[in-house]
Amino acid sequence: MDEIVCFSCGASQPEIILPVRRLEVCRQCNSELHVCRMCEFYDTTVANACREPIADEVKDKEHANFCDYFRVKPDAYEPPDKSASDAEQQLNALFGDTPQQAGQDDLDRLNSLFGDDDD
Protein backbone atom coordinates (compact mmCIF):
# COMPACT_ATOMS: atom_id res chain seq x y z
CA MET A 1 0.00 0.00 0.00
CA ASP A 2 1.12 3.56 -0.70
CA GLU A 3 2.28 5.80 2.10
CA ILE A 4 -0.63 7.49 3.90
CA VAL A 5 -0.28 11.26 4.22
CA CYS A 6 -2.41 13.86 5.98
CA PHE A 7 -4.86 15.66 3.67
CA SER A 8 -4.19 18.95 5.49
CA CYS A 9 -0.40 19.20 5.86
CA GLY A 10 0.95 16.32 3.77
CA ALA A 11 2.85 14.74 6.68
CA SER A 12 3.47 11.00 6.45
CA GLN A 13 1.38 8.84 8.79
CA PRO A 14 3.35 5.57 9.13
CA GLU A 15 1.84 4.75 12.56
CA ILE A 16 -1.73 4.55 11.22
CA ILE A 17 -3.31 1.14 11.63
CA LEU A 18 -6.01 0.28 9.11
CA PRO A 19 -8.91 0.63 9.25
CA VAL A 20 -8.51 4.24 10.37
CA ARG A 21 -10.16 4.91 13.72
CA ARG A 22 -12.81 7.63 13.75
CA LEU A 23 -10.83 9.84 16.12
CA GLU A 24 -7.39 9.30 14.54
CA VAL A 25 -5.43 12.55 14.16
CA CYS A 26 -2.35 13.68 12.26
CA ARG A 27 0.78 13.57 14.41
CA GLN A 28 2.01 16.85 12.91
CA CYS A 29 -0.97 19.21 12.48
CA ASN A 30 -3.58 17.45 14.68
CA SER A 31 -6.16 17.33 11.86
CA GLU A 32 -8.70 14.53 12.09
CA LEU A 33 -8.03 11.77 9.54
CA HIS A 34 -11.33 9.84 9.33
CA VAL A 35 -12.72 12.62 7.11
CA CYS A 36 -14.20 12.80 3.63
CA ARG A 37 -11.10 14.58 2.30
CA MET A 38 -9.04 11.46 3.20
CA CYS A 39 -11.44 9.02 1.51
CA GLU A 40 -11.09 7.31 -1.88
CA PHE A 41 -14.73 8.15 -2.61
CA TYR A 42 -14.22 11.91 -2.10
CA ASP A 43 -14.80 13.71 -5.41
CA THR A 44 -15.86 17.35 -5.64
CA THR A 45 -17.23 16.85 -9.16
CA VAL A 46 -20.16 14.67 -8.05
CA ALA A 47 -23.22 15.22 -5.85
CA ASN A 48 -22.40 15.54 -2.14
CA ALA A 49 -18.70 15.22 -3.13
CA CYS A 50 -18.94 11.43 -2.71
CA ARG A 51 -18.81 8.66 -5.34
CA GLU A 52 -20.33 6.11 -2.94
CA PRO A 53 -23.99 6.12 -4.02
CA ILE A 54 -25.57 4.91 -0.77
CA ALA A 55 -23.43 6.77 1.77
CA ASP A 56 -25.21 9.31 3.95
CA GLU A 57 -24.43 12.93 3.16
CA VAL A 58 -21.69 14.46 5.29
CA LYS A 59 -21.80 18.26 5.47
CA ASP A 60 -18.36 18.93 6.95
CA LYS A 61 -15.77 17.22 4.76
CA GLU A 62 -12.82 18.07 7.03
CA HIS A 63 -14.04 16.76 10.41
CA ALA A 64 -14.37 13.19 11.65
CA ASN A 65 -17.54 11.35 10.69
CA PHE A 66 -19.20 7.96 11.14
CA CYS A 67 -19.26 6.92 7.47
CA ASP A 68 -19.11 3.13 7.17
CA TYR A 69 -17.88 3.36 3.57
CA PHE A 70 -14.69 5.25 4.42
CA ARG A 71 -11.60 3.95 2.62
CA VAL A 72 -8.36 5.81 3.23
CA LYS A 73 -6.85 7.51 0.19
CA PRO A 74 -3.04 7.44 0.55
CA ASP A 75 -2.39 10.48 -1.67
CA ALA A 76 -5.12 12.72 -0.24
CA TYR A 77 -2.84 15.76 0.23
CA GLU A 78 -3.24 18.51 -2.35
CA PRO A 79 -0.90 21.50 -1.98
CA PRO A 80 -2.71 24.85 -1.74
CA ASP A 81 -3.48 26.45 -5.09
CA LYS A 82 -1.30 29.53 -5.28
CA SER A 83 -2.66 30.65 -8.66
CA ALA A 84 -5.55 32.68 -7.20
CA SER A 85 -3.35 34.63 -4.78
CA ASP A 86 -0.67 35.04 -7.46
CA ALA A 87 -3.26 36.43 -9.88
CA GLU A 88 -4.51 38.88 -7.27
CA GLN A 89 -0.96 40.05 -6.57
CA GLN A 90 -0.34 40.54 -10.29
CA LEU A 91 -3.53 42.60 -10.63
CA ASN A 92 -2.58 44.73 -7.65
CA ALA A 93 0.89 45.26 -9.10
CA LEU A 94 -0.60 46.16 -12.49
CA PHE A 95 -3.03 48.73 -11.10
CA GLY A 96 -0.81 49.85 -8.22
CA ASP A 97 -3.60 49.48 -5.72
CA THR A 98 -3.15 47.25 -2.71
CA PRO A 99 -6.11 46.73 -0.35
CA GLN A 100 -4.31 48.62 2.43
CA GLN A 101 -3.67 51.61 0.16
CA ALA A 102 -7.28 51.64 -1.01
CA GLY A 103 -8.54 51.52 2.57
CA GLN A 104 -6.25 54.37 3.63
CA ASP A 105 -7.31 56.48 0.62
CA ASP A 106 -10.97 55.93 1.52
CA LEU A 107 -10.29 56.91 5.12
CA ASP A 108 -8.46 60.07 4.01
CA ARG A 109 -11.38 61.08 1.77
CA LEU A 110 -13.86 60.44 4.58
CA ASN A 111 -11.82 62.50 7.04
CA SER A 112 -11.49 65.39 4.58
CA LEU A 113 -15.25 65.31 3.94
CA PHE A 114 -16.04 65.72 7.63
CA GLY A 115 -13.15 68.04 8.45
CA ASP A 116 -11.22 65.59 10.63
CA ASP A 117 -7.83 66.32 9.06
CA ASP A 118 -4.95 65.71 11.44
CA ASP A 119 -2.60 67.86 9.34
What 3 state SS string does the chain have?
Answer: CCCCECCCCCCECCCCCCCCCCCCECCCCCCECCCHHHECCECCCCHHHECCCCCCCCCCCCCCCCCCCCCECCCCCCCCCCHHHHHHHHHHHHHCCCHHHHHHHHHHHHHHHCCCCCC
What is the structure's pLDDT at 94? Answer: 80
User: Can you give the pLDDT of all 119 residues of the chain as single tens digits?
Assistant: 688 999 999 999 988 888 999 999 999 999 999 999 999 999 999 989 999 999 999 999 999 999 999 999 988 888 777 777 777 888 888 877 655 555 677 788 888 888 765 55
What is the structure's pLDDT at 43? Answer: 94
For the entire predicted model, the pTM comes to 0.65
Domain-by-domain residue ranges, the chain?
1-79, 83-113
